[in-house]
Structure 1
Amino acid sequence: MSADPLEWLTSLEGVPSVYASTRDGIDVMLRDRGLRRTSPEMTAESLLRGAHASAVLEGSSSSLAEIRAGDGDEVAQASVRVSTELLSLSPTLNRSPLQAFARIHALAGGTQVPTEQLGRPRNEDAAARLRDLSALLLAPTSAPALLVAALVHADLVTAAPFASHNGIVARAAERLVLIARGVDEKSLVVPEAGHLALRAEYESNLRGYREGGASGVHAWLLYAAEAFAAGAEASPLVRAADQG
């Protein structure tokens, strides 16, 4: 038996090629559209756009302009709280994924969730799912980081391990994997915006991941590569380069 728990995913039809192509596209965007000119402000803008997209997917009706002005609804505020601390959680994810997931949920929950529920799985089954996911992240693998990020995202959404805000946690964790595994260390890609742009496909493929067995996982992975490409196009780098 292979020691790589994700090896079977990298052998699924179409997965290796689509993830190699998507990673190449992201690398080209980051390199050719001005990586040397990036600033903390551009990272902050990417995180803000991601917070808005994630909040909308979670049910928020706040606009990006409202969120930028600090006037978003409670869901938007939860998403923004997560975004402000996400970069600092990169070392934590590499060392202790459980601690990173708990902190993301605590940030999202804020004062809206009872203190005893913040960062804590809702039951033992949820705790077991989180432990399994943490072990998966700590295991050696040759799987592309983008694939790992997609898997973390879908597993957290479908397991719903926390009492609230599971979608926000999942999308933040996906972005965090991209940061921590070196795909996008400055967090300039906006994967949440990619999912929002493909919302119907996003929601249907999550249902497939939850209910469709191996074929559902396969379909999710192929979809996620497309969403990552759309997230790269949503980067503030793209607009800056186009305007330059």
Structure 2
Amino acid sequence: MTPDPLAPLLALADVEAAFTAARERVDAALRHRALRRNGGQVAAEISLRAAVASAALEDHRYGLDEVRAGTVTDPVVQGALRVAEAVGGLVDLWPRAPRQVLARLHVLAARGVVPEAALGRLESGAERIDALAGLVAGNDRTPPLLLAAVVHAELLTLKPFAGPAGVVARAAARLTLIGRGFDTRGLVDVEAGHLAREPEYVGAAGAYATGTPDGLRSWLRHYAAAVSVGADEIAEVGDAVLSPSAT
């Protein structure tokens, strides 16, 4: 069996423990009673929240209720919503044709933000994108959370596309978590976790870009923390969904 090329990252101090804790937090959240009969409603709300958070991380910040009401026409927000809606249909294609999926995500995210000719086209980093695609394609060795964290960081720091490249990075990470079975229903709002810890998110991404062990560790620990925050949101949304029948 081919060894996992990312396995050494789990040996960095506290990383494996942080990932284990995040996994346990997600497992506990997925037992929320709202998911038994109202799972679709919870998933739809979390998808909306994730899109709003992803746009906010591009510094396009709007209230959740504004976006829910359909009054926000900001193209970055609209792009994040299109991406959120499309994720489910791209899960199976992601491990087979990662570059094609990334191009599609960029078309959805950046329409109305960058010129038509730039949609789906790499601006830089083709070699690293090829390497990343090779890491994603058919990889059933790397633990899902670790692979998603690396996919996210590579795309976030490389910025291979014009415009809201961060929306693409976060969507690719979400695809990885869903497709690899960590979060099959797309219920973990990792984007909200990044937004809740935004200074850390920015700093940890910068640290990852240095390529040092401490920098990589900083990012991976942040990612685990963001997943934990996203898991907690399942309970928050689930409680809200159940509250009308509880009163």
TM over 0.5: yes
Superposed CA deviations along residues 97-151 of structure 1, whole A, max 9, x for unmatched, are 111111111100123322221111113xx21121111111125454321111111
- Residues 145 and 177, structure 1, Cα contact 8 Å, conserved in 2: yes
Rounded to whole Å, the distance in 2 between the matches of 1:186 and 1:81 is 18
1:40 alignment partner in structure 2 = 40
Counterparts of 1:202-217 in structure 2, within 5 Å, are 202-211=201-210, 213-217=212-216
Q: Percent identity?
A: 40
Matched AA of 2:195: L
2:183 corresponds to 1:179: no
Rounded to whole Å, the distance in 2 between the matches of 1:33 and 1:179 is 21
Rounded to whole Å, the distance in 2 between the matches of 1:151 and 1:5 is 12
- Residues 7 and 142, structure 1, Cα contact 8 Å, conserved in 2: no
Counterparts of 1:135-154 in structure 2, within 5 Å, are 135-138=134-137, 140=139, 142-154=141-153
- Residues 6 and 141, structure 1, Cα contact 8 Å, conserved in 2: no
Segment drifting more, 68-77 vs 187-196:
68-77
2:27 alignment partner in structure 1 = 27
2:66 alignment partner in structure 1 = 66
Superposed CA deviations along residues 186-212 of structure 1, whole A, max 9, x for unmatched, are 111110000111111111111111125
1:155 alignment partner in structure 2 = 154
Matched AA of 1:85: A
Matched AA of 1:47: S
Matched AA of 1:76: V
Spell out structure 1 runs of 4+ moving beyond 4 A: 241-244
Query: How far 1:38 sits from its partner (Å)?
Result: 3.4
Stretches of structure 2 lacking an aligned partner (at least 5 in a row): none
Cα 1:106–1:120 shift into 2, 3 Å = same
Cα 1:131–1:59 shift into 2, 3 Å = same
SS in structure 1 of the partner of residue 229 of structure 2: helix
2:106 corresponds to 1:99: no
Superposed CA deviations along residues 157-209 of structure 1, whole A, max 9, x for unmatched, are 10001112111111111111111111111111110000111111111111111
Stretches of structure 1 lacking an aligned partner (at least 5 in a row): none
Rounded to whole Å, the distance in 1 between the matches of 2:243 and 2:5 is 41
Rounded to whole Å, the distance in 1 between the matches of 2:146 and 2:68 is 31
Rounded to whole Å, the distance in 2 between the matches of 1:214 and 1:31 is 35
SS in structure 2 of the partner of residue 113 of structure 1: coil
- Residues 46 and 190, structure 1, Cα contact 8 Å, conserved in 2: yes
SS in structure 1 of the partner of residue 163 of structure 2: coil
SS in structure 2 of the partner of residue 122 of structure 1: coil
Matched AA of 1:24: E
Cα 1:221–1:166 shift into 2, 3 Å = same
Segment drifting more, 63-72 vs 186-195:
63-72
Rounded to whole Å, the distance in 1 between the matches of 2:83 and 2:149 is 19
- Alpha-carbon RMSD across the aligned residues, in angstroms, is 2.0
Cα 1:88–1:9 shift into 2, 3 Å = same
Matched AA of 2:21: S
2:196 corresponds to 1:197: yes
Segment drifting more, 148-157 vs 38-47:
38-47
2:219 corresponds to 1:220: yes
1:55 alignment partner in structure 2 = 55
Query: How far 1:77 sits from its partner (Å)?
Result: 1.2
- Residues 35 and 42, structure 2, Cα contact 8 Å, conserved in 1: no
- Residues 5 and 139, structure 1, Cα contact 8 Å, conserved in 2: no
TM-score by length of 2: 0.91
SS in structure 1 of the partner of residue 208 of structure 2: helix
1:7 alignment partner in structure 2 = 7
1:232 alignment partner in structure 2 = 231
